[in-house]
Amino acid sequence: MAEPMLNVKFTYEDYKNLPDCETRRYELLGGDLVMVPSPTVYHQHISGNLGFALMKFVHENNLGRVYYAPLDVILGAGKEWEIVQPDIFFISHERAGIITASEIQGAPDLVIEILSPATAGRDRTYKSKLYARHGTKEYWLVDPEIKIAEVFILEEKGFGLIATYEQTGILSSPLLPELKIDLKEVF
């Protein structure tokens, strides 16, 4: 007779004690340790182009910092800690206190997730609710397969879709109103 499987929930301490490994990325979601697959070349192409445009704008306007995965973003406290590694994220100068030497301890102002078949469901549901619950002001979902970018803003009951931009559109951000990104240069 087979042994019953135990429902093991991981803690922040368990996560921090994982062996360092350059080829693996993990997130801690709802006590579950989730391995995040390595991004594809096209994913990296989009991430680099989008991140460059955002970083250039943020730097030129002295607005804060832009970061890329892998970098831990810790949301919650105590046994409710969850750890994510958004593809790209922005933290304003006003919220710079959440930046530590080794991680981010709180919700970024803007989170950008580039979808993949392995992560799309989680990015659209669980992580969207998680970011909203912890106060991320704006959330972008970028779909490389159909070449669109969706921009959501935080509303009373979670994120509300503000706009969907196709690959020939000019993306704009409610959080950063002067920012304009030509998606032809991203995709």
CATH number at residue 53: 3.90.1570.10
- In a domain, residue 15? The reply is no
Is residue 24 one of the residues assigned to a domain? no
- The pLDDT value given to residue 150: 98
Query: What tens-digit pLDDT sequence spans the chain (187 residues)?
Result: 444 445 656 565 655 555 555 445 666 566 666 667 678 899 999 999 999 999 999 999 999 999 999 899 999 987 778 889 999 999 999 999 999 999 999 999 999 999 999 889 999 999 999 999 999 999 999 999 999 999 999 999 999 999 999 999 999 999 999 999 999 999 9
Q: Tell me if 141 is assigned to some domain.
A: yes
Q: What angle do CA 60, 88, 124 make, to 5 degrees?
A: 135
State residue 23's pLDDT score. Answer: 43
In a domain, 11, yes or no: no
- How many domains is the chain partitioned into structurally? 1
In a domain, 26, yes or no: no
Instruction: Please check whether residue 76 lies inside any domain of the structure.
Output: yes
- Residue 89 domain boundaries: 39-185
Tally of CB atoms within 10 A around 48: 13
The dihedral sign for the CA sequence 77, 82, 99, 110 = negative
Residue 18: what pLDDT?
Answer: 55
